[in-house]
């Protein structure tokens, strides 16, 4: 794992493969290891250089002060690219990672050569959603990560997911600390609407959706497609909210086909 320090906070990232740089931002409440099916595929790593952080408060990265805003995650990712002397990268994210990818576009669109939005959404939380985030943050601080395993695994994965996959996702969730999860819940609750940001992005864009996604279902993907001129939609069968983990071979094929067209 590579390491940088941002504002005194040690942050860890994977740097795997060679070729076109591709920054991949993980979802909530996971870690960068959720991209293992991509980082372990030699067909991808022989052509693309994957930079995959653990966001602050997740995995090996330490937690900063206050809510982990999507802007903070984006700035941390840009600091990692700076550290690696990478000017422009393809920027991709799953769900919360997608919110952070949009925050990166807001901070500095010149750093994004192309965009991959996986099971995410452009809109902000409504008032009821914000309230639920705060309630969940408090409950997690009290009960720990087991609460998120119980409540989220059934929603994250397709009803067709097998026990091995459920266990793997539960293990990833349990690697995290409750304080990190609560800070990210509070950060997601205050994220701004990103529709305008997406409408302004002129680069190649791939929107991916697991067909069984219950958290950010197909209409959320279609809304982003309608906003981004020339964007392409890839529907992944037999997958819910985490298609890169649930259907890695289909997902990796779609990712490879998109990245191969980026100059
Ligand atoms: C995620 O997968 O990152 C979360 O479900 C996103 C969210 O809660 O909005």
- pLDDT reading at 18 higher than 90: yes
Q: List pLDDT tens digits, range 118-161.
A: 999 999 999 999 999 999 999 999 999 999 999 999 999 999 99
Query: What's the rounded Cα separation, in Å, for the pair 58 and 175?
Result: 8
What spacing in Å lies between the alpha carbon of 21 and ligand 1's midpoint? Answer: 25
Question: Closest Cα to atom 7, ligand 1: which residue?
Answer: 96
**Mutation pick for ligand 1 pocket among 27, 69, 182 (CB with most ligand atoms within 8 Å):** 27
* Per-residue pLDDT band at 263 (split at 50, 70, 90): confident
* Percent with pLDDT over 70 in the chain: 100
pLDDT of residue 199: 97
Q: Look at residue 67 in the predicted model and tell me its pLDDT.
A: 98
Cα gap 1→51, rounded to integer Å: 10
Cβ 195 vs Cβ 206: under 8 Å:
no
3-state secondary structure of 94: strand
What region does 232 belong to: left with phi over 0, alpha with psi -120 to 50, or beta? beta
Positive or negative CA dihedral for 32, 33, 37, 42?
A: positive
pLDDT one-digit tens code per residue, 71-84: 999 999 999 999 99
Any ligand 1 atom below 6 A from CB of 73: no
Report the nearest-CA residue for atom 9 of ligand 1. Answer: 96
Distance 263 CA to ligand 1 centre (A): 31
Confidence of residue 43 (pLDDT cuts 50, 70, 90): very high
Confidence (pTM): 0.98
202-226 confidence digits (pLDDT tens): 999 999 999 999 999 999 999 999 9
Q: Which atom of ligand 1 is nearest to the CA of 185?
A: 8
> Which DSSP string do the residues of 178-245 spell out, in sequence order?
HHHHHHHHHHHHTPPP-HHHHHH--S-EEEEEETT-SSS-HHHHHHHHHHSTT-EEEEETT--S-HHH
| Digit-coded pLDDT (tens) for 176-209 | 999 999 999 999 999 999 999 999 999 999 999 9
Q: Give the chain's mean pLDDT.
A: 98
Q: What is the pLDDT of residue 85?
A: 98
**What phi and psi, each to the nearest 5 degrees, are found at residue 23?**
-90, 125
């Amino acid at each position: 794992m590579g390491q940088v320090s941002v504002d005194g906070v040690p942050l860890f990232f994977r740097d795997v493969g060679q070729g076109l740089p591709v920054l991949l931002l993980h979802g909530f409440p996971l870690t960068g290891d959720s991209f293992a099916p991509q980082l372990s595929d030699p067909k991808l790593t022989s052509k693309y250089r994957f930079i995959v952080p653990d966001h602050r408060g997740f995995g090996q990265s330490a937690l900063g002060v206050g809510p982990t805003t999507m802007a903070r995650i984006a700035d941390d990712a840009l600091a990692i690219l700076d550290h690696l002397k990478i000017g422009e990268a393809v920027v991709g994210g799953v769900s919360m990672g997608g919110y952070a990818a949009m925050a990166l576009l807001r901070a500095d669109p010149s750093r994004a050569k192309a965009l991959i939005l996986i099971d995410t959404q452009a809109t902000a939380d409504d008032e009821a959603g914000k309230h639920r985030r705060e309630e969940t943050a408090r409950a997690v601080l009290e009960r720990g990560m087991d609460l998120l395993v119980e409540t989220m695994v059934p929603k994250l994965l397709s009803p067709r997911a097998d026990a091995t996959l459920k266990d793997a996702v539960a293990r990833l969730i349990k690697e995290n600390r409750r304080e990190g999860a609560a800070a990210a819940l509070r950060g997601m609750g205050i994220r701004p609407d990103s529709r305008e940001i997406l409408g302004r992005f002129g680069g190649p864009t791939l929107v991916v959706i697991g067909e069984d996604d219950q958290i950010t279902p197909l209409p959320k993907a279609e809304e982003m497609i309608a906003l981004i001129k020339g964007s392409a939609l890839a529907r992944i069968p037999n997958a819910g909210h985490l298609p890169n983990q649930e259907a890695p071979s289909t997902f990796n094929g779609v990712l490879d086909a998109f990245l191969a067209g980026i100059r």
